[in-house]
Amino acid sequence: MTRRTDFDRHGLSDEQLRSILRNMLMQRGLENRGFQLNRQGKIPFASASEGHEAVQAGAAMAFERGKDILVPYYRDLGLALGIGLTPYEVLLSLFARAADHSGGRQFLHHYASRRLGVQTISSVIAAQLPHAVGAAYALKLRGESGRAVLTTFGDGATSEGEWHESINFAAVHQLPIVFLCENNEWAISTPQRMQMAIKDIYRKAEGYGIPGAGVDGFDPIACYAAARDALNRARDGGGPTLLEAKCYRFLAHSTDDDDSAYRSREEVAERRKDDPVPKFERVLVGAGVMTPSAVEEMRTSILAEINDATDRAETMPYPRSDDLYAQVYGASYNPWQ
Amino acid sequence: MAIAAPSKVMTNVEAVRATLYDALKRDDRVLILGEDVGNRGNVFLITKGFIEEFGAERVIDTPIAEASIVGVAVGMAMEGLRPIAEIQFADFIYPAFNQIVGEAAKIRYRSNGEYTCPMVIRTPYGGGVRGALSHSISVEALFYHVPGLKIVAPSTPRDIKGLLNTAIEDPDPVMFLEHKRTYRLIKDEVPDEYFTIPLGKANVLKEGSALTVVSYGLNAHQALEAAQRLEGEGLSVEVIDLRSIRPMDRKAILDSLRKTHKLLVIHEDNKFGGIGAEISAMVAEEALFELDAPIRRLCGPDVPAMGYALPLEEEFMISTDRMAEVMREMVKY
């Protein structure tokens, strides 16, 4: 196989590079499946992170399974897949089955698994950030060096008070945490310029006395390198970092949103030209890491895996109506004793 | 002859301090975070000296940001610590509302038990201390509607120790409400040894046969005093201190009502949608025909808060005289 040299792989092996592409293709495939199931009337709701594949697959490669803690937001399928979530678990969540992490209570993409090290989140913007800081505080208090917290959010989250409070708290205590902003330029219908008067979110880091860095969110290797450096600094006691991966949201906010109401088709089409998924395919093929036919085989195997996961998850039972009453408290409980 | 267990006389505020101290000493997972809890040792000096003994890592002076005081504690609790978050005054709890109601209360439920949130949120509440609009609020009714939370409002040093120990050991988030006026006003014997009092168990402060009075916090002490006065008039009033607001002790209320057949609920928090509303509804559902008189509620008025000026504070607070007057009316009804 011929190998080109004009390709900075930041130490990633061929296997890791292929795994990143597989993650990106899997994200797209699973999200496409969500939309199909929604159109078929089988699930009430779907959403996607199309445009976020590179940052999520790249950053996930820097996450150390079994050690690090992930506190994501609700548009982080690729991060979850990258740290070990299976397509079957995703489908259980889409179908709201009893075996889902939340027992079928939560929307899709609200994971909670100690096995994976991913904390439970709500859909309230930036509400998970103080939790990530608390987790990082626990790691530091217990002297568990070599472990770090990775937490993520969108550009709109930076408007929330808890965003500021969390970064400030983490900076004061020099906690082992990386704040990764997936800036897709849109908070549902509100563009970045209506959320803030600056262009580069990572520059806010200076106001907190921590390092900040911007990275091309369409380049998974650059995102991996930025996340790896920041996570290593956190693990080594170097404190928090604010990263901003500039990406784009290609689709509407969710199946309940029509983005043509607030942004032109031309804008979206223009940004599609930089779609990170075909772009990374070309990078790997161009570098000789994969052949075009190997990419096709990967696609085929992903689709087979998604089909299998869909079939298995769909046959699983819903939670029982009695489950509504479970897990309110640690012991059986009635407000009137 | 029984030998009394060793005990000390303490005020309410000293009981909070002693119990927190023991918890920090006993359990490495316990830590305290809040505004001015470290160097200053809390604005009521509850944690004075703790930072020297336990270190700034476990007695954390936080930035002035209530949402993250609670939110950071939620994250600590999910990762195995036992945080005690302090909101300096209950009036400052509003910025943390989402973290308490939207997050802490739902961690276990939304993760199907994969994660839990064993934490305590302590806060001084209540008036009668010239605290004006923003240092005198009662907040219990804002939170007792929320499944996933537990709420305690003890009135005596012994109950503070027993219930705070329970709250710290509880596997779910507990709000621990301390009435400021009782901090140095109330003094009593507290056993030296470790003990717990279960949540949801009321305490009968005084037995009586002609009227049941249900209260908590500062008002419970006043209700007891009023009932003792009426005893001198030959009127027999039973006084129940709820201690725990969620869960609440239905059995204690109904057992008493089946004896007295009359119910008065007293709380400083305003009446509309308050704790007394829930108690009244429960009694109407479960024991309507036990009642020989309409239920009455003696509560704070429906105004935004008590004022700074003494007449405005006095008008808001329920006087012991007023309690005695209403009790008298009800016994004679």
pLDDT category of residue B2 using cuts at 50, 70 and 90:
low
pLDDT tens readout for residues B174-230: 999 999 999 999 999 999 999 999 999 999 999 999 999 999 999 999 999 999 999
pLDDT of residue A5 exceeding 70, the answer is no
CA distance A162 to chain B (A): 6
Cα separation, A85 vs A78, in Å, equals 9
Q: pLDDT at position B303, please?
A: 97
Q: Which pLDDT does position A4 carry in this prediction? A: 53
**Residue boundaries of the structural domains of chain A:** 14-318
For residue A138, give both structure tokens. 């626990």
pLDDT score of B92 more than 50? yes
What pLDDT, on a 0 to 100 scale, did the predictor assign at position A284?
97
Mean pLDDT of A322-334: 92
State whether A330 and B81 contact (CB < 8 Å). no
Interchain contact A319–B (C-beta under 8 A): no
Q: What are the structural domains of chain B?
A: 8-191 (3.40.50.970), 203-332 (3.40.50.920)
* Host H or E run for residue A192: helix A192-195
**What's the pLDDT band for A332 if we cut at 50, 70, 90?**
confident
Quote the CA–CA distance of B217 and B223 in Å, as a whole number. 10
Confidence check: pLDDT of A6 > 70: no
User: Which of A120, A135, A161 lies closest to B114 in CB terms?
Assistant: A120
Contact state of A327 with B74 under an 8 Å Cβ cutoff: no
- The structure tokens 């000026």 sit at B309
pLDDT above 90: percentage of residues in chain B: 98
- Strand-pair partners of B175: B121, B151
Active site residues of A: 249, 253, 262
Q: Mean pLDDT in chain B? A: 97
Question: Would you state the pLDDT for residue B1?
Answer: 52
Contact B62 A169 (CB under 8 A): yes
pLDDT of residue A331: 86
Q: CA of B306, closest CA in chain A: separation in Å?
A: 29
State how far residue A69 is from chain B, nearest Cα, in angstroms: 10
| Fold (CATH) for A14-318 | Rossmann fold (3.40.50)
Stretch B156-167: mean pLDDT, rounded? 98
Count other C-beta atoms under 10 Å from residue B326's C-beta.
19
CA-nearest residue of chain A to B283? A336
Helix (H) or strand (E) holding A149: strand A149-154
The predicted structure's pLDDT at residue A3: 53
Q: What is the pLDDT of residues A188-226, one digit of tens each?
A: 999 999 999 999 999 999 999 999 999 999 999 999 999
Residue from A186, A180, A257 nearest A215 by CA: A180
Instruction: Verify cis geometry, omega within 30 degrees of 0, for the bond prior to B247.
Output: yes
* ipTM for the whole predicted complex goes beyond 0.90: yes
Would an 8 Å CB–CB cutoff place A161 in contact with chain B?
yes
Cα dihedral sign, B314-B320-B321-B325? positive
Identify the pLDDT of residue A1: 45
For the stretch B218-242, what's the b/e string if a residue is b when 16 or more beta carbons lie within 10 angstroms of its beta carbon? bbbbbbbebbebbeeeebbbbbbbb
